[in-house]
Amino acid sequence: MPWGQLSIAVGPDGHPMRPRVKWHLWAICRGEPPLMTAALGLLSIVLGCMALFFVGPALVTAIIQSQPHWLVYVMLFTVGASGTVVPLGIVVLARSAFDLAARRSSMVGVVVGMRRDVGLFGRTYRVAVQAGDRVMTKKLWAEAFRITRATFDKLRVGDRVTIEYSPRLRYVYNMVLPEPLKKAVG
């Protein structure tokens, strides 16, 4: 093959390789609206600080006055959980604030993968889109986005879509679907 004309990587069997996708199944708040994510991050920080503020002095008192062990363990667990929730809330709040301040990103690409998962709050629908211009794309990784079921049902692998999304949380603001094929009259 001449130099500079390799458009897609070829596997050991000579067939084109499938694009790799980072699905981000356990990422925190990925695919959620940035404003809602900011509210959840702030709520997490407030609740964690309140737990530290109210349970911390009671824990010290319980240890000094030799309270029942189960009560001390419950308070230790509460302080430990709030020590985890506060930094997590700060990270979520920062990511959503960056998304709210940033310009929306857009991509024109081809749907290369679709995924339906059972989540904690029902089903989640994800689509993997690889940027359409293979000359400009130097990597094989496709971007994964969370979409609604109605949009998921309309899409097929190979469809060309335009997506407007937030740069960090990958929340899809707008997705232009391919127009359905019209049958010739006559």
CATH number reported for the structural domain that contains residue 118 in this entry = 2.40.50.140
Task: Please identify which residue in the block is written with the tokens 């008192």.
Answer: 61
Lowest mean pLDDT among 24-28, 47-51, 119-123: 24-28
3 falls in which pLDDT band (50, 70, 90)?
Answer: very low
Tell me the pLDDT tens digit for each residue of 53-112.
Answer: 999 888 888 888 887 888 888 988 999 998 889 998 998 899 889 988 888 888 888 888
Tokens of 8: 């897609």
Which of 81, 101, 121 is the endpoint of a domain?
Answer: 101
88 with 107, same domain: the answer is no
168 falls in which pLDDT band (50, 70, 90)?
Answer: confident
Helix (H, G, I), strand (E, B) or coil at 130: strand
108 with 24, same domain: the answer is yes
For residue 5, the model assigns a pLDDT of: 43
Spatial distance between the Cα atoms of 44 and 38, rounded to a whole number of angstroms: 10
Which of 78, 101, 124 is the endpoint of a domain?
Answer: 101
* Cβ neighbours of 56 (radius 10 Å): 14
| 183 within some domain | no
For residue 48, the model assigns a pLDDT of: 92
94 with 47, same domain: the answer is yes
Contacts of 161 (CB under 8 A, 6+ apart): 108, 109, 110, 111, 129, 155, 175, 176, 177, 178
For residue 50, the model assigns a pLDDT of: 93
63 with 38, same domain: the answer is yes
4 falls in which pLDDT band (50, 70, 90)?
Answer: very low
Domain that holds residue 168: 20-30+103-176
| 118 within some domain | yes
| 24 within some domain | yes
Q: How many distinct structural domains can be found in the chain?
A: 2
Backbone angles phi, psi at 73, to 5 degrees: -65, -40
What is the DSSP annotation of 80-120? HHHHHHHHHHHHHHHHHHHHHHSPPEEEEEEEEEEEEEEET
| 7 within some domain | no
157 with 112, same domain: the answer is yes
For residue 90, the model assigns a pLDDT of: 92
Tell me the pLDDT tens digit for each residue of 100-156.
Answer: 888 888 888 888 888 888 767 778 888 888 886 555 555 567 888 888 889 889 888
Spatial distance between the Cα atoms of 15 and 19, rounded to a whole number of angstroms: 12
What pTM, to 2 d.p., does this model score?
A: 0.67
Asked whether residue 25 carries a pLDDT value surpassing 60, the answer given is no
Tokens of 67: 């309270």
113 with 150, same domain: the answer is yes
96 with 108, same domain: the answer is no
43 with 77, same domain: the answer is yes
